[in-house]
Amino acid sequence: MTGHTKFLPRGMRATVALAALWMGFLGAACSRQDRPEITLRFWNGFTGPDGRPMQQLVKEFNRENPDIRIIMQRMDWYTYYNKLFVAGIGGRAPEVFIIHASNIP
């Protein structure tokens, strides 16, 4: 079922992924009420040119939300989905992750 992604341009898919990511971050930020710092692990495959802007977004988010800490881990897309799958089965999946629409069953 990979043909359905042809309807969304590459830039639009990235925009949707970033919007979903920020919604997750904002949801965590809005739920805080005098609790200890929240740490969220964020996995992605942004090892190329798209990695720097994402690092900057995470850095800005961490600076603007001192009670929430995002720890971003980038890995090569070639191994990313296998690692994500294994982490999920083992109960060690990150709280936030990127997944392409073509990989959603």
Predicted confidence (pLDDT) per residue in 65-93, tens digit: 999 999 999 999 999 999 999 999 999 99
- Domains identified in the chain, total number: 1
pLDDT of amino acid 13: 67
The answer as to whether 61 is a domain residue is yes
Report whether 74 contacts 45 (CB < 8 A): yes
The answer as to whether 23 is a domain residue is no
CATH of the domain at 101: 3.40.190.10
Burial of 45 (0-12, 13-18, 19+ CB in 10 A): buried
User: Which residue range is the domain that position 97 belongs to?
Assistant: 38-105
- More confident call, 98 vs 26: 98
Report pTM. 0.66
Dist CA 96 CA 105 (whole Å): 18
The answer as to whether 21 is a domain residue is no
